[in-house]
Chain A
Amino acid sequence: MDDHSSGLRYGLIDVEPFEEKKIVKRYGMKFVERTRGLRPSKSFQDYLRFNTEEVLEHMAIPRHLDRATLSAFIQEERIKRFESDAELQKIIEDAQSKSKRRGARLTTLVEFFLERQKANLDTIFMKYAEASLASDLPLRLFNHFADFHMTYTAALELLLILVRKYEKMMNLQRARQQSATYNRVIREMKFKLSPIIEQIELSSLAAQSSIWYVFFCNVDSLETISEERPLLKSKLNDEEFERLLWESEENSKKLRELVMKQDVRTFKPLIEESDLKASFNEVVMTAIG
Chain B
Amino acid sequence: MSSVPKPCLFLDSCVVIAHVLDQQEHRAALTQLKKDLTKHHVECAVSNSVMNECNTKMNELGTFLRELLVSLISDQVTAKRKRDGRLEKDPIDSRDMLAIEDAFRQIYDGIGIASVMSGKYPMMKSIPDLGPIEAFIVESFNEASGSKKPPDPMQWYIQLTAWALKRVAEINLNLDRAIRIQHEFAAPCPAMPALDDITKIQNAGLSKDDAAHIASALGAQRSGLCRKAVFVTVDYKSILKHRSAVKNDPQVGLTCTMPLYAVHHALSMA
Contacts and interface: CB of A to CB of B under 8 A. Distances in A.
The DSSP consensus for interface residues of chain B is: helix
A288 B181 contact: no
Nearest to A282: B132
B171 A128 contact: no
A283 interface: yes
B166 A287 contact: no
A289 interface: yes
Given A260-B177, A280-B136, A288 B170 contact: no
Interface in B45-86: 57-66, 69-70
A178 interface: no
A286 B133 contact: yes
Interface in B116-173: 123, 127-133, 135-136, 139-140, 143, 154, 157-173
A287 B157 contact: no
A256 B181 contact: yes
Contacts, number: 130
A126 B151 CA distance: 14
Interface residues of A, number: 39
Interface residues of B, number: 55
Interface string A252-289: 00001100100010010111000111111111111111
A130 B158 contact: yes
A267 B173 contact: yes
B161 A285 contact: no
A128 B159 CA distance: 11
Interface in A130-172: 130, 132-133, 139-140, 142-143, 146-147, 149-150
Interface of B: 14, 17-18, 21-25, 57-66, 69-70, 123, 127-133, 135-136, 139-140, 143, 154, 157-173, 176-177, 181-182
23 contacts: A125-B165, A129-B161, A130-B158, A133-B161, A143-B62, A146-B165, A146-B166, A150-B170, A150-B173, A256-B181, A260-B176, A260-B177, A260-B182, A264-B177, A270-B170, A275-B139, A283-B136, A284-B61, A285-B18, A285-B25, A286-B131, A287-B61, A288-B58
